[in-house]
Each structure stands twice: as structure tokens, then as C-alpha cells.
Structure 1
Amino acid sequence: MTEQAALPAISTATPYYIAKSNVCVNSQKQSIGNGVFAGRKFGAGEEITAFKRPLVASLETERLSDTCANCYVWTEGSSTGTRLYVPEGTRVSKCAACQRFWYCSKACQKEAWNRGHKHECKMLTSMAGKQPPIPKAFLACMEVLIRRGHRLISDDDWEQLCRLPSHIEDFKQDGRCENIEMMAMGASRTFSHKDFDKDFIAAMYGRIISNALTLITPTLDPLGIMVDPTLCSVNHACNPNAYIMMDGPRVSLRTLRPIKKDKEIFISYIETTNPYHIRQEELQSRWFFTCRCAKCQKGTTLQEDMWKIPANPEFVVSAQDKQSMASSQEQTFKVYDKIQHLADPKVVIPVIEQALQICHESHFWPIHRQPYAALRDELILHLLAEGKYTDAWAQCAKRYKYILPKLYPVPFHPVRVVQAWQMTMLAAYLASTEYGVGVPGVQMGLIAMMLVKQVLDVAYLSHGPENAFTMSVKRKAEEMIGELKKCLGNADHEVMNRELEVQRDMLMEMGDWAKDGEALAALENFEMAEKAFSV
């Protein structure tokens, strides 16, 4: 038995417990599932508990050749951009035998070998080069079974894992069970064990698919899936009071809001800024439940379902207007889904810009409504990839001013922190160029200083003081302060503070640089208001 299996938790005292949950109920309102509850009172931005690593993790096929299969360091773009926490020169090399997993060092390869790879390597060697690629959930399922078969998963972890719902009956109803059974049959032929027949393997595969969480970097880049019996017992809410943060293999459960003792801990399984019906559809299709959290009980009356309409209290939204809104929303989500499968920025950027223009010129869309806001996130990423840094900066400034405070009002929300850090590093880069953003009076170096200070102030809460992300932000802040002192010498603090105020005002003005489309002359004399309703 490995050390990880024997001592999965880092915390010496367990500040949580698992018990029957009031949100997991059947049609008779009877509790049918468990949840994780706070063992003591927690403040906002605290770590509830942490684990050295999840029980099992499986990388996306696209990440196998550039990510360490043990410590999950993603080497692409290391030491550049937002991921300064990746050591310079980090590279991965593939396992010479199975040719499937890659490792960043001999130490990582040895650790993975002892944790169980030595038992799966031979099996994977026989499957090398087969097409199509082996699904990540299948690999995770095989790792679980192989490690348990060799007594590398403790009895407690195994029992808790087997208590997670398999949803086999739900898979039968939606037509996916046949695929699960085929995978189980293939697994039973590849790996034979007296305790694991085809039906048991199918149930375990169902548990993996329906309970897995996303494996992420400290900057929230998705790498694959992870399964852990404790973490997978944390239930979902669209207004979560906690979230999962990672630092390599270390997994931390952190508070987003204060949590009282004996109150249930909730995380979000989905993008909670999406409209009500989109959230419900995703949760039902992926996790087979209808969300009844406090937020969802309010239906389509909240910010996520707001549309822009004339502020006149006598104005009534017509059925035709609602139909137009619904059609626009459906088409915009289709565009968003489409670009997830496109890689070339030259192709993607015009598609996104056209979608933003349609949202803007429809006059119904608030700038923060999804997926209008998410399309802007994608546009920023592709503009950066294409080297269009000033255009990306204008979009970042717009997001910083109008979107982040609206969607993520908690200043240390991890999404808000990471996106602000992305903007910080872009400001630092533009400050190093000859022309910056090409506007007289704008000092990008000072703006970068303001932003890095803002990120550093909240990174301790969003990621924790020892997280590699926080440490990299701290180092960058110290570096920038040192450079600024060299340039300014013994500058008067009062003068400096006045200049910072000027630059802060300029940053807010930059939030209006990016235009999604033409202003509609017909609406110039109308005052618009945001109102939530179903379409």
C-alpha cells in the first residue's frame, strides 16, 4: 500500500464529515445521498482541507504528450505568460515501455511507478498505437481496478468510492449504457480479476463518468478528470460556498463564503453564470439531477436571466421579442460550442467578432449575459495567440470594467483572479514595448503595478499562500517594484499616488475602447434597463 493510499489527507484533523444530504432527495423528499459538511466554522477564503493528490486522475488525450502524468505540470508555454509558476526548462519524456504517459523527471516516473503504473504499464503496452485514442474515463477506471486488485487502494477509500452512485439505470434511459457495457467487456478481457466481473466494471465505469471532477492547473486550465471518494461526495450548488483549487497534484477545498459549523459544503459542477434553463439542462444530462439549490429555486428571476429592455415601466416584452431573444441565445450558444473545436485563431477570431456584433446590435443582450461574456474570454485568448496584443488589451479592459465585477462579485473568486492576472501580464508585456498601447499619457508600467498588487492581495485567499501561483505572483510583484524604484529613484510618494490615480482613471476609460458593433441610433433616446425573465 502506498503512502498516498494510507494517508490521503494533508490536514492532521478532519475539519469535515460526510453525512446524509438534504439536497439529495427522491420524489418523496427522502434523503438518498450523502454530502460533505463543515466540522467547524470557516471564514471566506480559508482552506477547508487538502489532499496530497486525488485517488485517480486521467489526462485528456491532447495533454498526454505535454503534461506530467504524475505531478500534472503542463509544460506548454512554461515560464511565459500567466503560468510563471512552471519552472523554466520543464520538459516531459514518455514512458519507454507503454509509450502513453509522459513524466517531467525520474522522480515523478518512479513515484507513479510505485503508485501503480508498474501494474498497468504492460497492459497499456499491448494497446499502444491503437485508434481511436483510449477515453480518459476508461483509463481512470482501469487504474482504479488495477490498483485495487493489487491492494494499492485502502479499504476505506474503496468502500467510499463504491458508495458513489453509478447511474447505470440513468445511462440505460439515455442510451449510453450500451457504450459503457462495451467498454466494460473490453476491460474485463484486458484485466481479469475474480472480484471484478463485467457488471461490476460497468458500474465502476459509470461512477467515473458521472462523478469525475475536472483536473486543473493553478490558472484553471483543464487537463483531464480526477476521481476521489471524498471530493466526489461534495454536492453541487449554483451558488456554491466553496471551490476546488489545485497546485500540481495537491487538491485543496477552499471557501468562497463563510460556512457555519455543520452546514453542507457545496461546489459548482458547471458554469454557474449561465442562464437558469441552460444550467438545469447541463446538470440533468451530465449528472442526472434537477438542481434545487437556493439560486435555482428563484428560477429565471436573477442576474443570469437578465435582458436589456426599455426602462419605461409600461413597456411589455412581446411574444415576438421573447422568441427573438430565445433564438438569439440558442444560436449564440451554438457558436460558442462550435469554436471549442476550432484551433486556428485566424478562423476563430472573425467568428467570435461576428457573434459579439450580433449580441450587441440585437440591443437585448447585457454585456455580462452568457455566452456573450464567455465569447469575449475566447476572443482574448485567440487574439493573444495571434499576437494582437493591443486588441487583446482593449478586450481585457472591457471585461475588467464591466464583466468581472458583475459575474464574480467576490474579489478573490478564482476565475476573477486568474483573468485579472492574465491582464496583468499583458500590461507588463505592453509596458516593455516601445509604443505600449500607443496612447499619450498612458503608462502601462504603472498600470501593470496596480494590477499585480490587486492580484497579490487576493491570491492568498483564492489559491492559498503556499500555492505555486501565489508564489509566482509575489515574485513578479517584487520584480516589478524593484524595476519601478530603479526608474523613479526617490520619487515623492504624494506625486506617485496622484499619478497612480491618473492611470487608474485611464484604465477605466480603456474599458470603452473595444466596440462590439455600431451604436443603434434608434435607441439613443431610450433609457435601457436590465430585467430577468424566461424566454
Structure 2
Amino acid sequence: MSDQPALSVAPPVPFHIAKSNICTDQSGGTGSGLFAGRRFGAGEQIAVFKRPLVGSLETERISDTCANCYVWTEGSSGTRLYVPEGTEVQKCAGCHRFRYCSKACQKEAWNRGHKHECKLLKPLIGRELPKAFLACMELLIRRKHDLISDEDWEMLCRLPDHIDDFKRTASYENMVLMAVGAGEFSSSQNMFDQDFIAAMYGRVLSNSLTLITPTLDPLGIILDPTLCRINHSCDPNAYIMMDGAEVSIRTLRPIKKDKEIYISYIDTTNPYHKRQAELQSRWFFTCRCIKCQKGATLQEDNWTVPANYALKPDDMESFAGSQKEVFSIYEKLQRLSNVETLVPALEQALQICHESKCWPLYRQPYAALRDDLIVNLLSVGKYKAVWAQCAKRYKHITPKLYPVPFHPVRVVQTWQMAMLAAYLASTEDGIEAPGVNMGLIAMMLVKQVLDAASFSHGPDSAFMKSVKSKADEMIEELKRSVGTPNKEIMDKELENQRDMLIEMGDWAKDGEELSELKKLAMVERAFSV
């Protein structure tokens, strides 16, 4: 045996930055991207960042979200069990703008730069400031006080500012005014000239990613010179997940060494032309991913037509007109806040799609309208109607739009459905149908989430821990009521309840109330069992 000490081998770097060819700007140029430093399997973490360089909350979230760890206190119940019960945020006594959930969070934010920012924000008390304005202001202040490293600052300044692209938009003048304000209120005009500040504001607008909770609730924006190097693809192989302030890059499918890492900036379930238009208007590039190279020929652009029917040019023109009309309705509905008006409007929009006889349930915005209907029905306590819509989505839509079992959207939707099932099992006014046990359906759904969450969120994430805790709670409750169940019998019964749930997927008929739904198929199945 050799007496030489063993050499320590450094682990491979998880990623590196290199030239990318997937996204082209107005001039046909391309930028750089992140590439895998080794092979990664599906559902694996590529890299984790303690926190992004900058995070900025939506105006609506400033009053109920910690500005340091991004815990959303409104989410301390229901599906957001990862939020500690009783969590509250207290307003900063200086700026009266940001709030913190603990002294530790306040101290961390103070040392990171709020001590310089606080007094500058004080004159702006009561004024509503855009998240991009606050993010730009924070960047300038922290750099002025040497709280951003030279390396990070140089990487940040190499991000595209898209100033020439912004000049061609109607929002350019407002953007310049915001940039001037950010420079003035950060007291950094002597260090950075107006053009530089405008360019930095452009970088914030065109490079920021969405700040999210583990259940994908949007809270604001984040900007980080490394994370912002990840390019978009409409067929992404990775995604960004957040656990408080911690940001991780996780894989959707295996990625080979030296292959580029892609995430999606938009809802990639939209039709081809809708995706391209959104990318052009928001990020000023044309996507050249494998999916977009196939144009409007894939699932997102399919219509339902009889097998032996040959589509005519007039048909396609009619379909395009219907799609434009429904997207227009959907965008208008996004601006409504009155639930009493919104729910019937959403139901009517769903009925338009349904009555077209050619619109697949999973084609947008049909699916998105249903998502919004579910959220709004929940807000008014129509839980039975919500359940019927969730079951329809579970059976017909989610598997088509998110075929990867641990896709974060699929996992979160299943988790939300599990919590609704648990609630319906606990109330006398629950779902009544022969053979249905909502408690076991809830357990079956929680088990599905438990199997997937270690891949979607990570085995040590707060979300995973909350799911595990709920699963343990359900098992203990089952033991108290019927004793320790036989595993084989229990697995069989959970599978039977899943079949029941699949049957429920056909209860909801667009435009009908749950009380009018026909349950004949469920009754027949119950008797056959």
C-alpha cells in the first residue's frame, strides 16, 4: 500500500456559462447561457443559491410578506402548511414600507443594505412604487456602498439592457422616468449617470425572474447575474424552485454534460403564436427551441375534429377567430376583481369553448379559464363545484399539459386537491356518492404528492416536510379510527378510490352547477364494486 496521502478530487462544477444559440434578438444575435457541468438525472438539483442578488415584492405583497425570507403570511393555512402557524410580519419603523417576520430577518436585511436604503425610502412613505423601481434602487444603493461584489456587478452589467428595444415601445418614456427616480431617490446620481441607470432599469425589466412560494404563488421578482443567464425554451429541461429566499435549479428530465440548461419564462402550454408574441413583447427575442421549430403543429395548437373530416381553410380561419375572441375575453377577465361578476363570466367563457365542439379541454385558454374558475369558486366557498372542476382537471387536463409526474405545477395542483378532499371529508356538507370516501381520496392524493415532492421541490424542502407531516397525521388519524390497516388492503382501497376520482372527472359539465350533475356512472361503478 502506498504511503502517499490520497488526493482529494474536487466535485465537478454543476454548470458553466457559454455561447447559446436558442434565442435570437431583433438583429439575429444570440447571447450566453448556462450549460451542465456534469450529467444530471431527472428530478435532480443542479445548483442552489442561498438567495438571489435582489428580490422585490409586488405592491400587494409588501404588507403581508417578509422582505427578507419571503414568507407569505396570508399563506399560513390551507395548502401552504410550510408556513409556521402564527407567523406575522412587522413594519420597519424607519421606512414604514418593508415588513419582517422576525428580528433575525430584519437584521439580515439591514446588514445586506437596508440600513442605507431605509432613510432614503422614508420620504416616499405612502407612495406606491413598482417592484422594478425598488429593485433598481436597491441595486444602486448596495453597489454605492460596496455591498455587491465586483464580480457580481460585472456579470450584472453584461446582461442585455434592451434599451434600443424599449425605445420602440410605448412604455419607454415611463421607463426613463422611473430610472431617473431610482437614481434620484438612491442618491447615486454622482456615481452613475442617467444613461447607466436607465440601462440598469432595462436589465431589471428584461432579465428578472418571478419570485414564487413553494406552491408557485407569485410574490414579485428576483434578479441574479447567474440565474438570469439561464435561457428560455418552450420545451424546458429545468425550472426554478424557491424555498423561502433559497433558489434552486432543478431538472425536469436528464441533462447530459455540456448540454444547455433551459427554463421557461412563460406558460409554454399556450399555442405557438401566442408564445412567440409574448416572448417578443416582454423579452424581445424569438424562440428557436426544438418545439418552436415545429411551429403550430403540436398539441398546443391542436383542435378536436372528427377522424374522417378534412380541415378546410375556412375552418382554420374560424378556429383562429374563436381563439382570438376567447383569449381577448380571458385577458379582460384577468382585470376583474369582483368575484360575483367574475365567476359567471368565467363559466360563460368556458361554455363558449365547450360549444365550439372543437376545443380540447387542455388547449389554452380553456384550461387557464378553468384554473381561474377554481380559484374564484374557492374564494366564495363553493367547495363542491370546486371539487368537480378539480376532478375534471385531474383526469383530462393536467396529465396532458404536464406529463412529467413531478412537474411542479402538477405536484402543487395535486396537493391543493388533496387539501380540498381532506376538508370535504371533515364536513357534513361534503361529496356524497356511493362508494366514495373523501378521506381516503385525500390520503391517496397526499401519497402521490409525497412520492413526487422530493423530485419537484427537494427532499429537505419546507414543502416536502409539510407534505410528510400531513401524511403522518392522516395515517395516525386512520389508526385511531380503524386501527393499523393492512398495507395490501389499504393500497387496494386507495387504488379503488383513485378510480372513483377518475369517474368524478366527468361530473363537471361546463355551464352547469354541481347539483345538476349526473352521477349515474359513479353509482353504477359503486354497485359493480
Q: Secondary structure at the match of 2:509?
A: coil
Structure 1 residue 468 displacement after superposition: 0.6
CA root-mean-square deviation: 1.7
Correspondence list, 1:138-153, <5 A: 138-153=133-148
With over 3 angstroms needed to count, the CA separation of the structure-2 counterparts of 1:512 and 1:258, relative to structure 1, is same
Task: Decide whether the 8 Å contact of 2:26 with 2:284 is kept in 1.
Answer: no
The whole-number CA distance in structure 2 between the counterparts of 1:484 and 1:293 is 49
Which residue in 1 is equivalent to 2:518? none
Distance in 2, Cα, partners of 1:141 & 1:26: 24
Distance in 1 separating the partners of 2:13 and 2:112: 24
Indicate yes or no: 2:197 matched with 1:198: no
Task: Point out where structure 2 has 5 or more consecutive residues left out of the alignment.
Answer: 1-9, 513-529
432, 436, 442: which one pairs with 1:438? 432
CA distance 1:332–1:151, shift in 2 (3 Å) = same
What amino acid is the match of 1:160?
Answer: M
Residues 1:128 and 2:129 aligned together: no
CA distance in 2, matches of 1:278, 1:369: 12
> Counterparts of 1:436 and 1:302 in 2: how far apart (Å)?
40
* Partner in structure 1 of residue 183 of structure 2: 188
Give the conservation status (yes or no) of the 8 Å contact 1:361–1:517. no
Tell me the residue number matched to 1:528: none
Q: Summarize the Cα distance change of 1:66–1:17 in structure 2 as closer, same or farther, 3 Å threshold.
A: same
Task: Give the drift of 1:493.
Answer: 4.3
Question: 1:243 is aligned with what amino acid?
Answer: Y
Number of equivalences: 502
Q: Does 1:74 align with 2:68?
A: no
Contiguous gaps of at least 5 residues in structure 1: 1-10, 519-535
Residue correspondence of structure 1 range 347-426 to structure 2 within 5 A: 347-426=341-420
Contact map agreement 2:235 2:291 (CA 8 A) in 1: yes
Q: TM-score, normalised by structure 1?
A: 0.91
Relative to structure 1, is the Cα distance of residues 417 and 189 closer, same or farther in structure 2, using a 3 angstrom cutoff?
same
What amino acid is the match of 2:125?
A: A
Equivalent residue number for residue 90 of structure 1:
87
Give distance in 2, aligned partners of 1:298 and 1:156.
Answer: 39
Match of 2:226 in 1: 230
How far apart are the structure 1 equivalents of 2:293 and 2:188? 47
| Map of 1:533 onto structure 2 | none
- Partner of residue 177, structure 1: 172
User: Structure 1 residue 514 and structure 2 residue 513: aligned?
Assistant: no
| In 1: Cα distance, 2:52 partner to 2:323 partner | 37
Question: 340-349 or 356-365: which moved more?
Answer: 340-349
SS at match of 1:465: coil
Q: Residues 56-108 of structure 1: CA distance to partner in whole angstroms, max 9, x if unpaired? A: 01100000100000000001141x21100000001111111111111111111
2:418–2:442 contact (8 Å) kept in structure 1: yes
Match of 1:479 in 2: 473
Could you say which residue in structure 2 is the equivalent of 1:501? 495
Is the 2:23–2:287 contact (alpha carbons within 8 Å) kept by the matching residues of 1? Answer: no
Report the Cα offset of residue 435 of structure 1: 4.4
Q: State which drifts further: 183-192 or 47-56.
A: 183-192
Report the alpha carbon displacement of residue 498 of structure 1 after superposing the two structures with TM.
3.8
| 1:324-371 Cα deviation digits (max 9, x unpaired) | 222221121122222222223222110110011110011010000001
Q: Which moved more, 1:368-377 or 1:498-507?
A: 498-507
User: Structure 1 38/382 Cα, relative in aligned 2: closer, same or farther at 3 Å?
Assistant: same
Say if 1:247 and 1:468, in contact at 8 Å, map to a contact too: yes
Amino acid at match of 1:159: E
Q: Which residue of 1 aligns with 2:304?
A: 308
TM-score of the superposition, structure 2-length normalised? 0.92
Contact 1:71 1:249 in 2 (8 A): yes
| Mean Cα deviation higher: 86-95 or 437-446 | 437-446
Provide the rounded CA distance (Å) in 1 between the counterparts of 2:285 and 2:446. 41
CA distance in 1, matches of 2:184, 2:144: 15
Alignment CA distance shift 1:488-1:20 (3 Å): same
